[in-house]
């Protein structure tokens, strides 16, 4: 079930009559029905979710900003957005598939940015995956130029998080 911000308006209605009528409120959803509010306009995520629900197919890529979808496929979007939506909608299989994708695509080039991005802050299970990769590959990560550049770009709060993370994971 989808909910939007528009009221029911018949073009034949007189505008004055319409303004005097109360706006119809949607009924409370049944427990077995998900209400999806598309607020932020991220229709690409919604399209990917619907495509997955109907086809059991998922198009995930790390190069989502420059990807052009194949004919009939939804436009690729940030896999962390798909992960977030799968959590909100209770789509366990989709959440697992997206988390698996994010895990297998961790690399020394993207892990620092991922670990200090919004996804790791918001989702403990995702943070655990990122921290696991970071810990297991620390020797390769710490000397890399990509890691040093990512650390240089961190803001003060994230830099403090980085220091605490190294202490917590005993990586000093």
pLDDT tens digits, one per residue of 100-113: 999 999 999 999 99
Please state the domain count of the chain: 1
Whether residue 115 is contained in a domain is answered as yes
What is the number of H-type helices and E-type strands within the chain?
10, 2
pLDDT tens digits, one per residue of 78-101: 999 999 999 988 999 999 999 999
Whether residue 81 is contained in a domain is answered as no
Q: What CA dihedral angle connects 135, 139, 145 and 150, to 10 degrees?
A: 20
The residue that leads in pLDDT, 160 or 25, is 160
Q: Are 74 and 48 in contact (CB under 8 A)?
A: yes
pLDDT of amino acid 16? 52
Whether residue 126 is contained in a domain is answered as yes
- Whole-prediction pTM: 0.73
Distance (Å, whole) CA 58 – CA 81: 13
Distance (Å, whole) CA 91 – CA 126: 16
pLDDT tens digits, one per residue of 33-56: 666 565 556 888 999 999 999 999
Whether residue 118 is contained in a domain is answered as yes
Range of the domain at 130: 107-172
Q: Are 85 and 49 in contact (CB under 8 A)?
A: yes
Whether residue 153 is contained in a domain is answered as yes
């Amino acid at each position: 079930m989808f909910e939007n911000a528009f009221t029911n308006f018949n073009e034949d209605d007189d505008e004055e009559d319409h303004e005097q009528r109360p706006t119809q409120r949607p009924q409370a959803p049944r427990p077995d029905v998900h209400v999806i509010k598309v607020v932020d306009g991220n229709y690409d995520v919604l399209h990917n979710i619907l495509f997955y629900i109907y086809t059991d197919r998922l198009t995930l890529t790390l190069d989502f900003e420059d990807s052009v979808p194949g004919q009939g496929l939804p436009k690729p979007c940030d896999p962390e957005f798909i992960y977030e939506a799968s959590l909100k909608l209770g789509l366990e299989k989709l959440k697992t598939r997206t988390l698996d994708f994010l895990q297998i695509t961790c690399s020394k080039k993207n892990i620092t940015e991922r670990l200090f991005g919004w996804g790791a802050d918001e989702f403990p299970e995702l943070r655990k995956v990122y921290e696991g990769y970071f810990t297991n590959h620390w020797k390769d990560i710490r000397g890399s130029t990509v890691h040093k550049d990512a650390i240089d770009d961190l803001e003060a709060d994230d830099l403090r998080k980085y220091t605490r993370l190294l202490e917590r994971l005993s990586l000093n």
